Amino acid sequence: MSNYTIIHDALPEADWFQNLSEQLSSADVSRLDDDSPESVLEIASYDRPDIILLQDGTPVLVVEKTGHVPTGKNPLQRVARLVKAAEIGVPGIFFVPYAAKKHGKNASKTNLNHRAIQTLRRIEEVNDTPMLIPPWPTHDDHELIHDGSEDELISRFINQFLQEDCDPNVPVAEEIRARSEKGAKRILSEYAPYEKPPKSVTIQSTNAVINEHSGLPEGGSFQASRDETVVCDFKFQTRRTDPYIGSQFAYDYLYCRTGPTIHDRNRNLVLNMPKIDRETWFEYHPYEPGNKTALWYACADALVLADDTLTDFEQFRQDNQGRLDSYR
Amino acid sequence: MTSEEQVYIWTKQLFRADDWTILASDPPRGTDIPRLEIKEPGGIQSLTKNKNAIINDLVYCKNGVMVLIECKDSSDKITMDVNKLNMLIENRAWRGSLITAMSERSLFAREGAPSVGAVRNGNALVPALSYPGKPRSGLSRFIQITFNQGKDNIQIGKEVSLPAREKLEGIIS
């Protein structure tokens, strides 16, 4: 009999997850913190997923859940919470509505950003690790179902997964993929531009980018030999990190990545933040291990600021996997 | 010390075990089902999120009774919640806002939900406080759910209506 441990970022999510399967009823429940096992801290080193399931002390599944209306970059930020798990071979689940009703004065149906689905498919493909996206079902008026029946599909998956000694390749996984595919097609049929990068992300010739931004390609992982460069325009000017800091991982996998490390790219990844100068940048977004701002230095090849270009981040990266120095 | 998060979970487990329908939630941490934001009647939409709105921690219904629950990690902190729940239940305009919020989320169609009329006149609404320690005196309109080392104690105030009292028997037993 296996021993399961549910590591959580918040107790309501652990309570929800534990109730998905009788097999988890005697699982230990523990908060993600400094005392968590090293393998858990590794998974959480980019961002904290909602649930990390351990079998006999080894991570076997990571789950991210959201009932928020899945617009814009928000779901991309949440996708980033699954990236590290995939990179070390731990399967992931993103439980999210594919459409939900936005409330308020301009109430309307809002679709999941299709790029979140695309990103997880790419993460799965690149890392050869299953990433499932079961839809949180809704009523006809796009209100989320929350009478317990919404968990039926994911609950069946968890049960089969546990019965098969934590093998993610169970029959219900294919059912989830089929529903996911159907949902993804519907979203694209309603908004075709999702197939292309968003307006804030452009794919340019690397020469053009070098000509535009002085300081490239001095040092670091930016490579002039790559024909193309992906430029993400992030026009914030504050201490704000979300959702930009997480979405860089999504844009990396969508438009740059060819392999499991940040060095496996066929395009450079550049974050352009023209509204912040160097002095403000290092005041607001310093490299501090364990602080979320450290992630600015973990993924991109270059950060272009109003008055400077930062390129050499290797000093901040522990190894090719992009692992940060410590966790807090 | 028992955290508000733990009180929230224990309270959920109580209502779940007695098959109450959850209508809304606003956990202290993490994701649960969507919350119910009851906007201040006639209020100017604040630029500050949630300002002037009432968002209960948990909202449950069963057979036409709706329980509005506030969770706290200490009985010393419940005064504001008492005032908030009293205002919501006593004031017709606030009850109107509650109807609007529930309608926007199609909550009147949920199993066991009260009728619009029973929310409008307040008969369906029962305020509840959930916290560690012992029940406090002077809260005769409230249900008090208290926890002592994880063991629950439910005290139903004298002014809680008979129909609501009957629905709550399953939780007490």
> Which residue, among B16, B33, B55, B108, would best test binding to A if mutated, counting the most A CBs under 10 Å from its CB?
B33
| Cβ-contact A69, A99 below 8 angstroms | no
Write down the pLDDT at residue A2.
64
Round to whole Å and give the CA distance between B27 and B34.
10
Predicted pLDDT at B19: 92
pLDDT tens for residues A218-234?
778 899 999 999 999 99
Which residues of chain B lie closer than 8 angstroms to A12, CB-CB? Answer: 5, 8-9, 12, 25, 27, 29-32
CA A20, A26, A31, A32 torsion: positive or negative?
negative
pLDDT at A195 over 50: yes
Least confident of A26-35, A74-83, A112-121: A74-83
pLDDT of the residue at A181: 95
Residue at token pair 């010739």 = A205
Q: Is the dihedral of CA A168, A174, A177, A183 positive or negative?
A: negative
Average pLDDT, chain A: 89
Angle made by CA atoms B100, A151, B70, in degrees to the nearest 5: 45
In this prediction, residues A275-301 reach a mean pLDDT of: 88
- The predicted model gives A26-34 an average pLDDT of 93
pLDDT on residue A92: 97
Q: Is A65's Cβ below 8 Å from some Cβ in B?
A: yes
State which residues of chain B have pLDDT below 70: 43-51, 173
Cis status of the peptide bond prior to A243, with omega within 30 of 0: yes
Which of the pair, A146 or B45, is modelled with greater confidence?
Answer: A146
Structure confidence at residue B44 (pLDDT): 57
The more confident residue out of A288 and A326 is: A288
Judged against a pLDDT cut of 90, whether residue A24 lies above it is answered with yes
Positive or negative, the CA dihedral A74, A75, A76, A81 is positive
- Map residue A69 onto helix, strand or coil: coil
Q: Is A328 a residue whose pLDDT tops 70?
A: no
Q: Does A18 touch chain B (CB under 8 A)?
A: no
Cβ–Cβ of A50/B33 closer than 8 Å? Answer: no
Q: pLDDT at position A240, please?
A: 85
Is A42 part of the contact surface with chain B (CB cutoff 8 Å)?
no
Q: Does residue A19 register a pLDDT over 60?
A: yes
Instruction: For chain B, say whether A139 makes contact (Cβ under 8 Å).
Output: yes
Q: How many of the other CB atoms lie within 10 Å of CB of B12? A: 25
Question: Is the pLDDT assigned to residue A16 strictly greater than 80?
Answer: yes
d(CA A33, nearest CA chain B) in Å: 15
Interface contact flag, A12 B21, Cβ < 8 Å = no
A284 Cα to chain B: minimum distance (Å): 23
Select the highest-mean-pLDDT range: A36-50, A304-318, B56-70: B56-70
Any B CB within 8 A of A31 CB: no
The verdict on whether omega for the bond into residue A198 sits within 30 degrees of 0, i.e. cis, is no
Are the Cβ atoms of B105 and A9 closer than 8 angstroms?
A: no
Q: Give, as one character, the DSSP assignment of residue A297.
A: G
In Å, how far is A66's CA from the nearest CA of chain B?
6
Can you tell me the distance from the alpha carbon of B173 to that of B156, in angstroms, rounded to the nearest whole number?
A: 13
Strand partners, A315: none
Which residues of B make CB contacts under 8 Å with A?
5-6, 8-9, 12-13, 21-22, 25, 27, 29-34, 37, 104-106, 110-111
For residue A220, the distance in angstroms to the closest alpha carbon of chain B comes to 37
Give mean pLDDT, residues A67-95: 88
Q: Report the pLDDT averaged over residues A92-116.
A: 89
Q: What is the pLDDT of residue A291?
A: 78
Residue A316 has pLDDT above 80, yes or no: no
pLDDT of A102 reads 83
Concatenating the DSSP letter of every residue in B8-71 gives: HHHHHHHHHHTTPEEEEE--SSS--SPP-EEEPTTPPPPSSTTTTEEE-SEEEEETTEEEEEEE
What is the C-alpha separation between A264 and A268, in angstroms, rounded?
A: 10
pTM value is 0.88
Supply the pLDDT for residue B43.
66
Please count the CA atoms within 13 angstroms of the CA of A270 that sit on its side-chain side. 31
ipTM of the complex: 0.81
Is A103's Cβ below 8 Å from some Cβ in B? Answer: yes
Higher local confidence (pLDDT), A109 or B68: B68
